[in-house]
Amino acid sequence: MRKTIAFIGLAVILSFGPGLRAQTAADEALFREAKLLVFDKDWRAALDKIGELGDKYPSSPLVGQALFYKGECLNGLGGREREALRAYKDYLKSAEARANLVEEAEGRIIDLSFDLYDGGDAAALREVEARLEHKNMVVRYYAAYKLSLAKDKKTAAKAAPVLVRIVETEKDPELLDRARIALLRVSPESLKDVEDRTPVRIGSPRMLRIRIREGGRKEPVFSLNIPFALADLALSALDEDDKAALRKKGYDIKKIMGDLTRSKGSILKITGDDGSVIEIWID
Amino acid sequence: MTKCAMSETRREDLLAGDPEGRRKAMAEHLDKCPECRAETEAVERLLQETEAVRAEIRAAAASVDWETLPGLIADRARAASRKPERAPSRPWGWLLPLGMKPALAGLIAGLVVGAAAMYFVLRAPGSRPDRDLGFYASGEFLDRAELEMARRNTLDYLEKSQYVLLDVFGSARAGSVTPAALRSGQTRDLLARKKYLNGQLERFQMSKAKAICDQIEMLFRELSEISEEMSAAEFERIRGFVEERQLLLKINLVRKELEREI
């Protein structure tokens, strides 16, 4: 009897095996084609392929994975942000969701929610705010950065505690600079507090100051006080006319930084041909 | 005391007469009497000087704002009454002996002023326009700073992506199981960074850079998914794909453009 059951079982497996292998190969091929179309930003064709995958192989594990790419297609097509948002959320709920794409899907949800908020749907920003306390640090940081760009200053200020945490703990210079700029936007006083708390080498400057005055005027037309860590970026971001005036006087960013660092805090005063004065100094 | 023979009574009689006769009689007397003439001249001089002083007083009085003056005086009186009464101190008392030597006092005063000026010059190599301590930057400036950051970070992203791709293809040729770039999680880091670039590239309309960065992102996503069980055949497939779309060439072109803008 046992022999008979074993034989029947083997026969069943052998009979399904080639079919299963064939289906696996076919759904994989279809999924690969869809991904290639996504790569080429052929959103509509890619969406059709993903639909075909779901129709032909509804039980394939790749259908769950394809939800992420469905979100990509809907997002890329434009005007279908809410559908895209749903696709990414469905992906996160799917048992087939992969760790590397989960982070990506969270990022897309933040972006799409922010776009909807920008388009007038104030409630959409709740998705971003909710992610300020996400267990994944990357998601948390990105939500804070994105929230700092909100038009409503009170809402944007909610990002400050996470941004402060980035400045306090992060080592990555790119992330640090982003967090500093975001804090300058939403809560400059929080940035000042955290910069003052951060230990620096004795004698190292903490702040860069720039004032630009037009000829004969006492009040500056441009004022800037920022952490010295952003000095290089700040000088690069000066108005093109001011940069041209500096170049004319033989100054480039490297020279300015060199002069400021060497002189240990003295003021650099550059007078333009039109009488305007650019003052740069460090504290 | 005059020695003139005209008595006091005679003078009183003279002054009591009619003005015309009086003036005439006085003039006749002054012609004859030098003492009275000298006295008259002295009185005239005195009257002239008095007139000059009166003119100065009139000018000074005209410059005074008589309406606000009482209030001003009252304020000063109140301020003076608030100050604690102290015995007048003489901090410069030690200089008193020099009062007799003005040249020496001038020299010392010059030295003091010069030393003070030197102190202020040497203490701060350049005078600061202001001393406000808080951070601030305008929204417009922060936008420009973010644009600059977007350029730099995109450039950095493209450079690093190139290294990863070259490492992946180099490893595929050498028959390595998994390239170092994938083992160290570099692709994952790049994927995390790309999130920040997305918004910036769109905001600042850097469409070419956005397109190439999107393709790299997709490629890295694929690589990060299959890296664990990646076979030589799969490497070859991806390499062929990258070559076919000339991804490395496109990365180089966009890099050059961004470098020119920085």
- In B, minimum Cα distance to A98 occurs at B225
- pLDDT given at position A272: 80
With beta carbons under 8 A apart, name residues in chain B contacting A222: 138, 141
User: Looking at the partner chain, which of A36, A178, A222 has a beta carbon nearest the beta carbon of B196?
Assistant: A178
Query: Given this model, what pLDDT does residue A105 score?
Result: 95
Cβ contacts of A211 on chain B, cutoff 8 Å? 129-130
Q: What is the mean pLDDT of residues B187-197?
A: 85
- B135 to A189: CB separation less than 8 angstroms, yes or no: yes
State phi, psi for A269 to the nearest 5 degrees: -115, 120
Rounded to whole angstroms, the Cα distance separating A246 from A269 reads 10
Indicate if the pLDDT at residue B87 is higher than 50: no
More confident call, B63 vs A123: A123
Q: What SS3 state is found at A264?
A: coil
Per-residue model confidence as pLDDT tens digits over B146-179: 888 888 999 999 998 888 888 777 665 555 556 6
Which residue in A103, A111, A184 is closest to B142 by CB distance? Answer: A184
Q: What percent of chain B has pLDDT over 70?
A: 52
Question: Which residue, A231, A254, A178, A118, is CA-closest to B150?
Answer: A178
The answer to whether the beta carbons of residues A202 and A178 sit under 8 Å apart is no
CA distances from residue A18 to A28, A30, A82 in whole angstroms, order as listed: 15, 18, 41
Q: Which of the two residues, B181 and B88, has the higher pLDDT score?
A: B181
The pLDDT of residue A276 is 84
Q: Does B224 touch chain A (CB under 8 A)?
A: yes
Question: How far off is chain A from B136, nearest CA to CA, in Å?
Answer: 5
pLDDT, residue A1, reads: 54
pTM of the predicted structure, to 2 decimals: 0.66
Q: Give the rounded distance of the alpha carbon of A43 from its chain centre.
A: 23
Contacts of B130 in chain A (CB under 8 A): 211
CA-closest candidate to residue A192, choices A159, A165, A225: A225
Residues 6+ apart with CB under 8 A from B254: B154, B158, B208, B209, B212
CB contact at 8 A, B157 and B194:
yes
Alpha-helical segments (H) within chain A: 2-39, 43-56, 61-77, 81-93, 99-118, 125-130, 137-147, 153-156, 160-169, 173-186, 188-197, 231-236, 240-248, 253-263
What percent of chain B is modeled with pLDDT above 90?
A: 2
Taking residues B229-252, what's their average pLDDT?
78
Predicted local distance difference test score (pLDDT) of residue B84: 42
Q: Which residues of B touch A227 (CB under 8 A)?
A: 135
Mean pLDDT of B212-225: 84
> Is the ipTM of this structure higher than 0.90?
no
Structural tokens at position A219: 């009040």
Closest residue on chain B to A109 (Cα) = B195
Q: From the candidates B144, B149, B195, B228, which should be mutated to test the interface with A, based on the most A CB atoms within 10 A?
A: B195
Distance (Å, rounded) from C-alpha A235 to C-alpha A268? Answer: 13
Angle, vertex CA A17, rays to CA A12 and CA A19, nearest 5: 110
Contact A39 B149 (CB under 8 A): no
Chain B, 73 to 112: residues with Cβ < 8 Å from chain A are none
pLDDT recorded at residue A235: 86
Beta-carbon separation of B135 and A184 below 8 A: yes
pLDDT of residue B32 exceeding 90:
no
Q: What is the dihedral of CA A92, A93, A99, A103, to 10 degrees?
A: 20
Regions of chain A short of the pLDDT cut 50? 10, 12-18
Averaged over B121-136, what is the pLDDT?
Answer: 58
CB contact (8 A) between residue A279 and residue B188: no
Q: Do B145 and A234 touch (CB under 8 A)?
A: yes
Residue B255 has which token pair? 């890099």
The residue-averaged pLDDT of B65-72 equals: 51
pLDDT of B192 strictly over 50: yes
Average pLDDT over chain B, rounded to an integer: 70
Q: What is the mean pLDDT of residues B17-21?
A: 67
Strand, coil or helix: what is B85? coil
pLDDT at residue B94 in the model: 47
Interface A:B, Cβ pairs < 8 A: 114
- Chain B residues whose CB is inside 8 A of the A263 CB are 125
Per-residue confidence band for B111, with pLDDT thresholds at 50, 70 and 90: low
Residue B31 has what pLDDT? 81
pLDDT of residue B64 exceeding 70, the answer is no
Top-confidence residue, B37 or B122: B37
The one-letter amino acid code at B67 reads E
* pLDDT (mean) for B243-258: 85
pLDDT given at position B206: 84
Q: Which of B125, B156, B191 sits opposite A104 (nearest CB)?
A: B191
User: Looking at residues B195-202, what average pLDDT do you find?
Assistant: 84
Candidates B135, B146, B222: best to mutate against A (most CBs of A within 10 A) is B135
Residue B258: is its pLDDT beyond 90? no
Determine, for residues B149 and A188 on separate chains, whether the beta-carbon distance falls below 8 Å. Answer: no
Which chain A positions have a beta carbon within 8 Å of B146's beta carbon? 181
Render the burial of A98-136: b for 16+ CB within 10 Å, e for the rest: bebbbbbbbbbbbbbbbbbbeeeeeebbebbbebbebee
CA-to-CA distance for A117 and A280, rounded, in angstroms? 39
Q: What is the pLDDT of residue B53?
A: 61
Q: How far is CA B88 from the centre of its chain?
A: 39
